[in-house]
Amino acid sequence: MKFSISKDVLLAKLGIAVRGVSTRSAIQTLSGVLIRAGSGGVQLQATDMELGLRVDLEAATEREGTVVLPGRLLLDVVRSLPKDQVTLEHRAGDGDVEVVAGSAKFHLRTLPPEDFPNLPEAGSEPLRVPTQAFVETINRVARAASRDETRPHLTGVLVSANERELRMVATDSYRLSVKETELAEPLAGSLEVNVPARTLQELTRVAGEGGDEIEVTALENQVVFSAGGVVLSSRLVEGRFPNYRQLLPESFEHELAVSGPELLDVVRRISLLAQKNAPLRLRFEDGGVEISAQTPDVGEASESIPIPFKGEPFEIGFNPEFFREGLESAESDEITLKLISPLRPGLIQSGDFTYLVMPIRLNV
């Protein structure tokens, strides 16, 4: 194997591929990037057995071949090189790859290619969804997915697409995020898969330069995304995603129109004093809400803003991070805050975005 390529191009593409390498596997090859040079160009592959990445790049190939090199080391080497043009040559007799740029020369030992797994292929008739709508929907909901690996069915985002609607749902059992996006053009097919939140967040990083569409292929226990020369594959989340519609209350005692940016600014400020698991307190009374937080041995803060509240005063507490992220994800000048009572969930709603957050029991 031997090919030459621009340092900047190799660095950019390698930076994407390396995000798929394993940092914990006992299989050494999974810490590497597979480099396959062919007549049509060069492909980089990396996987940790949960997520896989294939990245295509154009290069002047002198000799075809396949090698596996330590991924992060190769990235650091390429980043450090002095010249624009880089040449990589596999020296089979020495068991290494020579990396040359200008007068700089590196010899990197290869990893066993036979231990590198085959990555799943995209289907011949993938579902094509608009990139902008897909990425925006991910960004609105993915933060609500659980990070607790003991509850794997909650670590994913339920992705559904049918005709003119794209829907994503995520929950960690303390909050629930739902975004329904209306599509301008009908889809040629349908989809419902529980995709790891990490996979979707990686997809947002690679899809920005991937053109107007993302191609999606759902396999038996895998999903494959293709966007702009990058193919991202992932295992699907095992276990049944909860029936999220049952979690949404049918009615609320209070529905309040609130300035989203104003409320978010106040919550960010007051949350600075909600430390050590202290709740963010919202006290509602006629015409306004007082937002406060208190942490023993640290301090306290409060601030009031006017809102159209009427009825018996009551106070409700929320996890400050969860409540703030709900307001950030709403991304709207005006939101609707829906409440029932101090011990029932609250709802943040903005157009086709819904965010349910469970309250924290307050000690008076």
pLDDT at 209: 64
Residue ranges of the alpha helices (H) in 210-362?
260-270, 320-330
Q: What is the mean pLDDT of each run of 10 residues along the chain (364 residues)?
A: 96 96 91 96 96 94 97 98 93 96 96 94 89 95 95 96 96 97 94 96 84 92 93 94 94 96 98 97 97 97 96 96 97 96 97 97 86
CATH class of 248-360: alpha beta
pLDDT at 228: 83
Pick the CATH number of 2-115 from 2.40.30.10, 3.40.50.1370, 3.10.150.10, 3.40.640.10: 3.10.150.10
pLDDT at 210: 62
Q: Which of 354, 343, 333, 323 is nearest to 168 (CA)?
A: 354
Q: Which residues pair with 5 in a beta bridge?
A: 86
Look up residue 92 and give its DSSP letter. Answer: T
Rounded Cα gap, residues 295 and 275, in angstroms = 6
Domain 127-244 matching CATH 3.10.150.10: the answer reads yes
Under 8 Å CB-to-CB from 230, ≥6 apart: which residues? 16, 53, 54, 55, 56, 206, 207, 210
Q: Which of 71, 89, 92, 91 is nearest to 28 (CA)?
A: 71
Structural contact between residues 267 and 280, judged by C-beta atoms closer than 8 angstroms: yes
User: In the chain, what are the domain boundaries?
Assistant: 2-115, 127-244, 248-360
Q: Do domains 2-115 and 127-244 have the same CATH topology?
A: yes
Rounded Cα gap, residues 118 and 111, in angstroms = 16
Task: Return the beta strands (E) in 92-150 as ranges.
Answer: 96-101, 104-109, 127-130
pLDDT at 24: 86
